[in-house]
Structure 1
Amino acid sequence: MGGQLGFLLTQITFKPKPLPPNVRLDKQTAIITGSNAGIGLETARQLASHGVSRIILGVRDASRGATAKDDLAKTNPGCDFQVWHLDLESTDSIVSFADKVKTLDRLDIAVLNAAVKQLKFTTTASGHETNLQVNHIGTALLSLLIIPVLKSTSQQTGRPSRLTFTSSEVHFWTPFNERTASNILERMDQKDSFVEGMERYYTSKLLNVLWFRELASKVDVKEVIINGTNPGFIASQLHRHDPSSGFKVLKKLLAWTPEQGAYFVTDAAVSKQTESHGAYIQEQKITEPSKYVLSAEGKEAQKKLWDETIALFKKESPNANFDSILS
């Protein structure tokens, strides 16, 4: 729906559906980022219950990842759960993770779920604003670096591999004040561009949508189906930096469970087929993204963001041959 009234109605009335019980994903390998808790953890549980043989838990905290692995193994002992370190605030960590992905014999499903919501201006060690770094730069870098493995798996299996981004309806809500800047990313890294509160998170999720749409335009749908899904408002650790009493009440009244949130993710990563390539999915159906995304200005910003992001990658990861990845 896009608007905030529509958001409220959806949270109250919509009931997400799990994958049909007869769906089988035997012998497949999946990667899920942000999978030590919340939607990511429950996505891993659901994929394993449908037969995925190996699931890589991409996590920042190894001890919490180990706890998640033990929890998952109790209900799905036949799945090989592996905990791999991944810090989306660190380019070196992302590149190292992607290099390890290249050693896999197959990668059928990748769910890029990790995200942050910082309400105050903070920066990572690389100097980027934290929401921007994790939700766009880090996620985009990882998505690009694992494309070759997804493609090679498709050649083995004869069917498209899957790349699903955990998106958000909040991309409708940002004023995107940085859209007129000569360089969007550089402007978002400047402290005086930051408005305390939710706005930067909203904007980072808009960049997320622009990125996966442009990436999809450059990847053959017969090799990798790329989409983004909105899991709705979930009671998860994403909101740990929002201590306001009003937000807590809203969460108690409206939020879905992480298990319900994962229904949206598994639907996008498994059930949706080639028609979902480059699509934004909401309420488990393909839906138009924001009017801005579809506008001429938005389409221009999409290409501009791509160019800026690739230029940044080449600067920060000079040893990676980005031009060859999509060739």
Structure 2
Amino acid sequence: MGGFLGFCYRQLTFKPKSLPTTISLEGKTALITGANSGLGLEAARELVAHKLSRLIIAVRDVSKGEAAKKSILESTKSTCEIEVWPLDYDFYDSIIEFQKRIEGLDRLDYALLNAGVKMMHYSTSPLGHETNVQINHLGTSAVSLVVLPTLKRTAQKLNSPVRLTIVSSEGHFWIPFKERTADNILKRMNDQETFGTQMQRYYTTKLLNVLWTRELSSKVPAGTIIINTVNPGFCYSGLHRHESSGIIKIFLWMFGWSSAEGGYCLTNALIQQENSHGKYLSEQRQTPPSPFVLSSEGQDVQQKVWRETIALLKEEAPGLDSSAVSPNIA
């Protein structure tokens, strides 16, 4: 894993498989963030096609979420109860309101945190953090904590584990992550001089997703919530909309999977892969993450990123449930 030639070979030779037709999700509730388009939409469509009873689409733009809902119901001819909830990772008030709604659910069997951005040029969020860091890491981490209590309650009620999957990327293999030596990694990543070129910052935040998932899973018993992270492959989707050079279009034409195939990778990680707690999934199987992640330095950085993230959320989003941002979740 991780090499460019290997990446090209796998993109050309591996074909993601849809969920087996025998799988029924009747009676279950799923949440997908960023499900108004692309891979998230296709993952939602597949879950609904497998008789999911309730789906929550959490999106920044509710009108786009409603359009996605209509598309899913029309294509699947399903009677699934689909709800569109607003959720904007740029604003902690939005995440706190989302938290209140999640707490009101009677059950939550599956949570797929798919929302993300790939900004090619430096910009900052309304909260002052670099945009990729805010959306892909801080927002995703906050929402992962927010959904945990309801997931845990569901697991206890059913006496069976539930699932949380965070979307990452094979690109986490490919970046130098020079910020790892900073006194405060997340603060250093706000500095424009660290942004790097092309997709380096995006891939760094995907590395943060892997580190966060591994640390979070270490604090949650596998028999309660199965937490994993998935590389969906290189796919046609709106994620690439900020890339203007045309290179991505050429690579997509040569190597890209369809959005539906990328969605298959997401649903495989979320629904199948039962023994995947704390694991990194790629090509619909468990594979080792990058050598850095597995190194002793990577493990130290993983814990440092966790501590910094928890401290930052406590400072900037004090309205979040205090138990959700506790360093001792289990």
Range class of TM-score, shorter chain: over 0.9
2:314 is aligned with what amino acid?
A: K
8 Å contact from structure 1 (residues 147, 325) kept in 2 = no
- Matches of 1:21 and 1:325, distance apart in 2: 39
Query: TM-score by structure 2 length?
Result: 0.97
| 1:276-323 per-position Cα deviation (integer Å, ceiling 9, x unaligned) | 000000111100000000000000000000000000011012233122
Letter in 2 for 1:241: H
Aligned residue in 2 for 1:308: 308
Report percent identity of matched pairs: 50
Q: What residue in structure 2 maps to residue 326 of structure 1?
A: 329
Unaligned runs of at least 5 residues, structure 1: none
Amino acid aligned to 1:323: S
**Amino acid corresponding to residue 231 of structure 1 in structure 2:** P
Deviation, structure 1 residue 192: 1.6
Contact residue 121 and residue 129 of structure 1 kept, 8 A: yes
Counterparts of 1:269 and 1:26, CA distance in 2: 15
* CA contact 2:240–2:248 (8 Å) conserved in 1: no
Aligned equivalent of 2:250: 249
Q: CA deviation at 1:157?
A: 1.3
Give the aligned partner of residue 24 of structure 2: 24
Between Structure 1 and Structure 2, how many residues are aligned?
326
Q: Distance in 2 between matches of 1:12 and 1:64?
A: 32
Q: Deviations over 1:27-64 (max 9, x none)?
A: 10000001000110011111111111010001111111
Q: Deviations over 1:130-156 (max 9, x none)?
A: 000011000000001110100000011
The 1:19–1:199 alpha-carbon spacing in structure 2 relative to 1, beyond 3 Å, is same
Residue 298 (structure 1) aligns with:
298
Asked if 2 retains the 8 angstrom alpha-carbon contact of 1:221 and 1:277, the reply is: yes
Q: Show the counterpart of 1:271.
A: 272
TM-score by length of 1: 0.98
Q: Is the 8 A contact 2:161 2:224 kept in 1?
A: yes
Q: Equivalent residue for 2:101? A: 100
Query: Does the 8 A contact of 1:121 with 1:196 survive in 2?
Result: no
2:116 is matched with 115
In structure 2, how many angstroms separate the alpha carbons of the residues matched to 1:163 and 1:258?
Answer: 21
1:283 aligns with 2:283: yes
- The answer for the alignment partner of 1:64 in structure 2 is 64
Name the residue aligned to 1:73: 73
Matching of residue 238 in structure 1 with residue 239 in structure 2: yes
Q: For 1:96-175, what aligned pairs fall within 5 Å after superposition?
A: 96-175=97-176
CA–CA separation in structure 2 for the residues paired with 1:97 and 1:26: 25
Equivalents in 2 of 1:272, 1:179: separation in Å?
A: 31
Note if contact 2:29-2:54 (Cα within 8 Å) is conserved in structure 1: yes
SS in 2 for 1:323: coil
Q: What value does the CA root-mean-square deviation take over the aligned residues?
A: 1.1
1:26/1:50 contact within 8 Å kept = yes
Q: 1:111, CA displacement in angstroms? A: 0.1
- Given that 1:95 and 1:142 are in contact with CA atoms closer than 8 Å, whether structure 2 keeps it comes out as no
Q: Is the 8 A contact 1:148 1:325 kept in 2?
A: no
